[in-house]
Amino acid sequence: MELKNQFSKYAKEYKSYNIIQQICAKSLVRELKSKPKSILELGCGSGQIFSNINWEFDKYLAIDGSKQMCELHPKAKNLSVKCLNFDSIEFFSEIEKQNFDIVLSSSALQWSNDLKKIVEKLSKITKEINVVLFTSNTFKTIQELTNQKSPILDEKSIKEAFSSYFSCEFETISYKLEFENKKELFDYIKKSGVSGKSELNFKKAKQLYKDYSLNYLEFEVIFVKTISKL
C-alpha cells in the first residue's frame, strides 16, 4: 500500500489518531524564536502546524501529497494549500523561484525518498528550517517481533542530510502512548499513518497481535533547527 493511499484512506478520522503528531506540531511552533511572515510547510496534513500559528503572515504555502488531507486543511487569507509530493520535480519547480523566512514540517519528512536532496533545494530558498521527524526507533518492539526493518529514516541519516547544508541543533525525544486494550492499540497503528509503507500480511499481523504484550506504543522523534548555512 502506498503511503499516500494510507493517509488518504483514513483522512477524515486522522485527527483522532494523530496524538503524537499534534504534540510535535505544537512544540515545533512554540519553540520558534520569531513570527515569520513567509512560511513554507511540507506535509501539512489537515492543519496540525497551521492550527498553532496565531500571528498574521504575508505568504503561507502548505504542501501535502494527499488530496484528501489538503481538502481538510483550514483556509485563510494569504494561505495557499497545494497537493504536491515533496520528492517530486513538480514541487521543486514550484519553490525554486520563491523565498521563505522559514520552512516548517512536522511528522512528514521521514517519508522522503531523498531527504538530502530536499534539504539541498530548501537551502536555496530559505535561511531557516524547523522540522520534526519520526525516526526508525518508532514502533521498535513491533519491528523486533516481526523481524521487519522500519520504513522510516534512522536518526543518523536524518542528521547527515541536514548537516550537509546547515549547522544544526538536534534534539531526540522518546514518547510512550498507552492504550486501554490491544484493539485500541492496533487501531491506532492502522489509522495514525505512522506505519506508512510497512504492511504485514494477515498471518504476520495475527501473530503480532498475539505476541505484542506491551500496553503502549513507542515513538521516537527528532527536532531539527538550522542555525546557519554552511
pLDDT digits (tens, 9 = 90+) for 71-99: 999 999 999 999 999 999 999 999 999 99
| 124-135 as b/e: b if 16+ CB within 10 A | eebebbbbbbbb
d(CA 230, CA 225): 14
Percent of the chain at pLDDT > 70 equals: 89
For residues 116 and 160, the answer to whether their CB atoms sit within 8 Å is yes
Give the CATH number of the domain where residue 121 resides. Answer: 3.40.50.150
Structural domain count, the chain = 1
| Burial (CB count <10 Å: 0-12, 13-18, 19+), residue 76 | middle
Contact partners, residue 88, CB within 8 Å, separation at least 6: none
| pLDDT given for residue 10 in this prediction | 41
| pLDDT given for residue 29 in this prediction | 97
What is the arrangement of strands in the sheet containing 216-229, beginning at the earlier edge strand?
A: 79-83, 59-64, 38-42, 102-106, 129-134, 216-229, 166-178
Q: What is the mean pLDDT of the chain?
A: 89
Domain that holds residue 90: 3-229
